[in-house]
Structure 1
């Protein structure tokens, strides 16, 4: 039942409150004991560690999937706060999938509590249906779960229904969006997307001009609707209760001039949106066409930024543009352009208070050599960019990747060392030597989908050490 040193927190429907306390952290809860039916324990119900409530606790088997499951009741569909009371007498955190009504919501962590008799509560916010719901904590490693004592459920808050318009506060945006047109929010850079939860049997989206959009219903596989405009129906015949949707757009680039704007959700009669939590962590990826995922057809969700962040249960953004450089010399110099809302902004217009990234990953240097940037200029420019990123994101872990074509790698490493020497210990060099070969690319430069998967497999555990 162990995890890595970091905590994998919430994904689409769960916002984990990262506070551990000795008492339940939710107000006016209903308590469900792990040892009392209809709760189930894939292991034994024990009582040999003092401090538990009720008559015992669930000591699940040390195996993947050996879960503790609760059946809880909500008077109405809406959000609920869960307080999971547990003890972990080891020094290693133990990861588990939180599964609500059969759908995996998040991978969360049960950290070491110091002793098996020390019980603490972790709080999560989830969405429940009206009536009976199952909440299952299923370990993801052979070490199994922490000991689970009880689950406190506060489902009294109900939900605040929204109308699905672009300014609906229940819609969660990721990436840089221009909101100056209240009818159509415009996606800046690549890889922007939005998540929402809604009721009703159908869902659609309002578009302006033609665009390729991708979407997912209830966290199912992402699928495309190509060259659509106007009112676009995405799903009908959905079952009762609530559902989730993710929508994103192909980026404008090269000769493709699609209109990546969001004009709001089209809800069924009487339906509404519902509050939706955000992941604890947000990762921003800054780069060129490789970070965009070009030229692969299913970018951005087959590109390494998307794959890495999704595997960590994190939100993500891609501030990236084909042909971008680090230094501004006849190309998009991202040391300057990362401060803008899109590649079409004419000045540094982005407000960094809109969101704060927990981590920033830089992959720049592939294109600078073609614009005559010297090694000295590159290293100095990289130092400036790292300084600017620290100003923009005071608390972020910053990762400077050596580019896959082995260009300016010593200069990238030296820039990181300079910032470390200046006292910024949260800047890290990522050595990518050997991560991919020419066989993992489409043209000896751009990774194939399989190449992106290899990169994500190597990058994810590096990020996981710090999140």
Structure 2
């Protein structure tokens, strides 16, 4: 017997509402089947329970983060109605985060439906961008998701204006941001940034303690505001109906202990944020000081990860730390640390359902020699690293770069070959021999100059472009 909508309820944020109905009840939606690409399912596509639509349904793994993801297309930015058809034959609710374009916007509880052949529809209302959007259902308990049949999607209202606070759903975050303090979201690792669209003639930002921040308004060249804190005016006297802004921060490194947090936008009287598009691809770069862009003054936006991804029109982030190794031996071993929200986290705390990378580029091995890592240990560590990245990002293309100093290159190549032999064909070795001339492209025979980073980006971009 189908459950009535009054029997099922859940708690959501103010930016979304949900009801459940026995039948799909959106007016003229576009239907996205869970079994049809580009939809993805961390589990299997099954057809053993009757009543589903199409050719099957997503039977997700019983695990936290084993997600079902849909890629939907909106003709315009605005409020959308989503109808998620599911069946839960247990008596235990299955809660999940709803992640839109990489940011969690609400939660949903998929209650029991009485039988695996009894399908009901959960209806959500939330904000989307114009064009392509990802809607990810990520379970928060070991029970996983219910069986998921399809998602009906329709833009039903105008864009929702935001207030510029850190939890404003119109603000798009890139990289690993800790959101436990609602007043100040904290940037983890290097290269994190945020983007927003806003109305009004001025824009500012709230900071807590001293930090170097960089920003760009309406895609103008990036500018620095060094050693600032408190309420900071970034621009005034702006003309036009709306504007865009990108903001990022210098990473903590060495003796620099700035406070890379975002306390919200300062909008003009009567102004608001509005929806802003998000690239369909995101590239995550994992590495050491070279990937950070140290010691160059204008890092991260003169470093090869930023340059290569921007040239591809992709979002990006740098999970990197000066002095990092691959293997955890008296240094930041990124085979372990990449699972954390920042270089100060004390345990593996990052929730990979927050965003999913389209591609992951690894550049590690320069520093392991100095920590006594043998070639055998390095190769086994790299195989483990690749397996962990695959677990975190089931659908990503993974690129393992040979380091520019020609260390552990054979072992890196062998680790990729081992993953390929195990059936993972989306792992690639990148031969960087000849990319960097230490005499002309580095400042100290190790770290590329800005011009050296530009050369690396020019070589790397077409390789990534083949796959994303």
TM, length-normalised to structure 1 = 0.68
CA distance in 2, matches of 1:331, 1:80: 47
Match of 2:18 in 1: none
Contact 2:204 2:267 in 1 (8 A): yes
Contact 2:366 2:407 in 1 (8 A): yes
Match of 1:442 in 2: 443
Task: Give runs of aligned pairs for residues 392-431 of structure 1, distance below 5 A.
Answer: 392-431=392-431
Match of 1:382 in 2: 382
Match of 1:296 in 2: 296
Secondary structure, in 3 states, of the residue corresponding to 1:176? strand
Are 2:126 and 1:125 aligned? no
Contact 2:289 2:321 in 1 (8 A): yes
Match of 1:214 in 2: 214
CA distance in 1, matches of 2:77, 2:345: 38
Match of 2:370 in 1: 370
CA distance in 2, matches of 1:158, 1:182: 26
CA deviation profile, 1:118-142 (whole Å, cap 9, x unmatched): xxxxxx927xxxxxxxxxxxxxxxx
CA distance in 2, matches of 1:433, 1:246: 35
CA distance in 1, matches of 2:436, 2:165: 43
CA distance in 2, matches of 1:227, 1:442: 26
Match of 1:114 in 2: none
Secondary structure, in 3 states, of the residue corresponding to 1:380? helix
Which 4+ residue blocks in structure 1 deviate beyond 6 angstroms? none
CA deviation profile, 1:8-67 (whole Å, cap 9, x unmatched): xxxxxxxxxxxxxxxxxxx89xxxxxxxxxxxxxxxxxxxxxxxxxxxxxxxxxxxxxxx
Secondary structure, in 3 states, of the residue corresponding to 2:130? strand
CA deviation profile, 1:183-204 (whole Å, cap 9, x unmatched): 0000000000000000000000
CA distance in 1, matches of 2:452, 2:417: 29
Secondary structure, in 3 states, of the residue corresponding to 1:342? coil
Match of 2:454 in 1: 453
Match of 1:38 in 2: none
CA distance in 1, matches of 2:237, 2:158: 25
1:434 offset after TM fit, Å?
0.4
CA deviation profile, 1:263-288 (whole Å, cap 9, x unmatched): 00000000000011210000000000
Match of 2:278 in 1: 278
CA distance in 1, matches of 2:155, 2:464: 34
1:464 offset after TM fit, Å?
0.4
Secondary structure, in 3 states, of the residue corresponding to 2:160? coil
Match of 2:465 in 1: 464
Judged with a 3 Å threshold, the aligned counterparts in structure 2 of structure 1 residues 80 and 354 are, in CA distance, closer, same or farther, namely closer
CA distance in 2, matches of 1:353, 1:287: 21
Task: Give runs of aligned pairs for residues 108-187 of structure 1, distance below 5 A.
Answer: 125=130, 157-187=157-187
Match of 1:101 in 2: none
CA distance in 1, matches of 2:202, 2:130: 25
Contact 2:300 2:306 in 1 (8 A): yes
Match of 2:77 in 1: 79
CA distance in 2, matches of 1:315, 1:161: 24
Match of 2:230 in 1: 230
1:240 offset after TM fit, Å?
2.6
CA distance in 1, matches of 2:237, 2:307: 30
Gaps of 5+ in 1: 1-26, 29-77, 82-123, 127-153
1:155 offset after TM fit, Å?
10
Contact 2:212 2:250 in 1 (8 A): yes
Task: Give runs of aligned pairs for residues 188-199 of structure 1, distance below 5 A.
Answer: 188-199=188-199
1:159 offset after TM fit, Å?
1.7
CA distance in 1, matches of 2:308, 2:284: 11
Are 2:340 and 1:340 aligned? yes
Contact 2:166 2:185 in 1 (8 A): yes
Match of 1:64 in 2: none
Contact 2:78 2:275 in 1 (8 A): no
Are 2:332 and 1:327 aligned? no
CA distance in 1, matches of 2:290, 2:155: 44
Contact 2:78 2:160 in 1 (8 A): no
CA deviation profile, 1:212-261 (whole Å, cap 9, x unmatched): 00000001110000000000000000013010000000000100000000
Secondary structure, in 3 states, of the residue corresponding to 2:373? coil
Pairwise CA RMSD of aligned residues? 2.1
Secondary structure, in 3 states, of the residue corresponding to 1:379? helix
CA distance in 2, matches of 1:303, 1:215: 16
CA distance in 2, matches of 1:79, 1:420: 41
Contact 2:436 2:452 in 1 (8 A): yes
CA distance in 2, matches of 1:79, 1:244: 15
1:436 offset after TM fit, Å?
1.2
CA distance in 2, matches of 1:409, 1:202: 51
Task: Give runs of aligned pairs for residues 82-101 of structure 1, distance below 5 A.
Answer: none
Higher relative contact order (CA 8 A, sep 6+): 1
Match of 1:313 in 2: 313
Contact 2:78 2:159 in 1 (8 A): no
